[in-house]
Every structure is written in structure tokens, then in C-alpha cells.
Structure 1
Amino acid sequence: MAIELFVFYFLAFIAVGSAALLVAMRNIVRSLFLFFLTLFALAGLYVFALADFVALAQVIIYVGGVLVLMLFAFMLSNKTLLNDVKEGTFGLPRWPALLVVILLGTIMGYTFLQFASAPPQWIRDAEQENRIITTTDNTVHYLGVNTMTRYLLPFELVSVFLMMALMGAAHMARKGGKS
């Protein structure tokens, strides 16, 4: 087995396994850390799909920003919330999560079987026009140039979104301290 295939299956196993544990976990702190692991594994899978920009955005926005702010908001929350977590009053029924997993598994299995029989038309068109990205292409240079030119507005909008999330976390922490 090639090392690339082994790393891909390892990342896929980490992503799916930690996501399944995340749904089944009743402890919010552990769920947040499992979410962190899921997002990192997903970023690794994006790298394998040669989607460098999406992987970079995944790490910067979700792992680096939103998840850390969720963690701080949880840690700075009031003590009654933490006591409720210890007692397990935040439990949700597990059958909706199981239904979603079965539905998504069915969709993924059907898609896998469709791709295994014949590649879609857009892939065949890209192969004929020689527009396929290979692993030897230097996409990091294009990533940096596009981030600061073509995608500058979305990049700045993400920074404003993160600033708003930080202000919300600070407001939650201050509001919890007064009561």
C-alpha cells in the first residue's frame, strides 16, 4: 500500500471517528476538543484533494478562530452552566444523529459507486483540456497571490467575522461575571 493511501485513510478515519464520537459525547469540553480534531483532519483531507486554499481557510477560520473562541466562551461561562454539564442535563436524543449518519453514509456510498463506474463529465472534460492540477504544481505561490489580490474582500470579511465573534465572547464573559 502506498504511503499516500495510508495517510488518506488515516485522516479519513480520524475525521469520521472523531465526528461520530463528537455526536455521541455528552461532555461539552470533550466535544469541543473532538471538534478541533475533526476540523484538523478535514483540513488534511482538503490538502489531499489539492484544495490548498480551502485547507488554509479551514485551519485559519475554523480551527484558529471560531473553535478557539467557542472554547473561551465555554470556559468563561457562568458556573451554573458548568454544573449542568457535570450533571448531564444537556443530553440530546441520539436517534436524530444516527439518522443523519445513515443518510449521509448512503449518499456517500451511492456517490462512491457512481464515481467508481465512470468519472463524471466535468472530470473527463478537464482531462481532455489538460486542466488537471498535479501534486508537482506550485500552488502555494498562487495561494498567496490570490489571497492578497483576488480574494482580499472575503479575507477581510472573515477577519471582521472573527472580530465580531471575539466581541461576543468578551460580552458573554463579562455578562457571566456580573451575576
Structure 2
Amino acid sequence: MSVEQIIFYVFAAMVLSSALFVVATKNLVHSIFLFFITLFSMAGLFVFALADFIALSQIVIYVGGVLVLMIFAFLLSNKQILDNPKPMRSRFLGIHHLPGIFVALVFFLVLIWTISLVDIGQLQWVKESQENTVKASDNTIHYIGINLMTRYLLPFEVVSVFLMMALIGAAHLARKERKV
């Protein structure tokens, strides 16, 4: 096993384990910091997928912006949770988790059954992707820019309108009401 494979498996294990703990932990502060580890590990996996622009965007936008905003919003919103943290329960699985576990298993079995029915080598998009391989020396940012401003211009503009609507909604919710 090469060094690259070992590093890839370390990143993959970090993503899976920290994402599992993000969902399973009851403490919101621990969950936010584990989410931080998950996002950094995902950026490492993007580097291995030769998606350097996506890896840097992951770090700058999600880790640098969104996660810091989540931490500040949590710390500024509810001081009672920080003053009196509830101890974590020792039971990881309980009877109240059974419906969720059942639904997850059903979806997992349907996913496995669907994958077993499909011949992946015969799918059209797989055949096309085998012809268009990305080399480590390719300038992926150039290709992203061209596709973003030609082929994906309409979805890009729709996302920008949605982000603007979310910003206006957040400003409206954060506004303090004046007493008359």
C-alpha cells in the first residue's frame, strides 16, 4: 500500500467518524467542532480527487465562513445552554431510535438492490466520463470558469438569487422590533 493510499484512507476515516459523531453527540459545541474536522477532511479528499479549486472553496467558504458563523450564532444566541450544559446520556441506542434505524435500513437495502441491478459499465455518462479524464497538470479552475459562465449560467444565477433571499430573510429575523 502506497503513502497516498494511506493518507486517503486516513482522510476517509476521519470524514466518516467525525460525521457520525456530529450526528450522534448531544453537545452542540462538540458537534460544531467535529463538523469543522469533517469539512477539513472533505477538503483533503477533494485534493486527492484533483479538484483543487473545490478543496480551497471548501476551506474558505465552509470552514472559514459558514462554520465560524455557526459558532458565533450559537455562542451569541443562548447563554443558558453554555452556563448549564446537560450531561450526555450513556446509552447510544435506545428504543426511541428503532423507527429511524428501520427506515435507514430499508433505504440502505433499496440502494444495494438498485446498485445490484445496474450494469455500471453500460451507463452513458460513465462511458463519456471515461473519455474525459482530468490530469494532475490540467487547469481545473479554467474549465470551471468557462462552464460556469456558459453552460451553467442559469443555475448559477438562480443560486445567487436564493442566497440573496436567504440574506434578506436572515436580516429580517435578526432585526429587533421597536417598541412604540
After TM superposition, the structure 1 = structure 2 runs for residues 1-179 of structure 1, keeping only pairs within 5 Å, are 1-87=1-87, 94-95=97-98, 98=101, 102=105, 118=121, 120-127=123-130, 130-143=131-144
Change (3 A) 1:118 1:163: closer
Contact 1:61 1:158 in 2 (8 A): no
- Distance (whole Å) between structure 2 residues aligned to residue 45 and residue 115 of structure 1: 26
CA contact (8 A) 2:51 2:140 kept: no
C-alpha displacement at 1:24, in angstroms?
1.9
State whether residues 66 and 162 of structure 1, in contact with CA within 8 Å, keep that contact through their aligned partners in structure 2: no
Deviation at 1:64, TM superposition (A): 1.7
Query: Structure 1 regions of 5+ residues with no counterpart?
Result: none
Q: Which amino acid aligns with 1:121?
A: Q
The range that moved more, 74-83 or 64-73, is 74-83
| C-alpha distance in structure 1 between counterparts of 2:42 and 2:113, whole Å | 21
- Structure 2, unmatched stretches of 5+, are 90-95
Deviates more, 1:1-10 or 1:149-158: 149-158
8 A contact 1:11–1:44 mirrored in 2:
yes
Identity %: 52
Structure index of larger Rg: 2
**Structure 1 residues 41 and 73, CA gap change in structure 2 (3 angstroms):** same
Number of corresponding residues = 170
- Give the direction of change, closer, same or farther, for the CA distance of 1:99–1:61 in structure 2 (3 Å limit): farther
**TM-score (normalizing by structure 2):** 0.62
Residues 118 and 154 of structure 1: CA distance in aligned 2, closer, same or farther (over 3 Å)? closer
Q: Separation in 2 of the partners of 1:136 and 1:9?
A: 24
Q: Which has the higher contact order (CA 8 A, sep 6+)?
A: 1
TM-score scaled by length of structure 1 = 0.63
**Structure 1 residue 8, shift from structure 2 partner:** 1.7
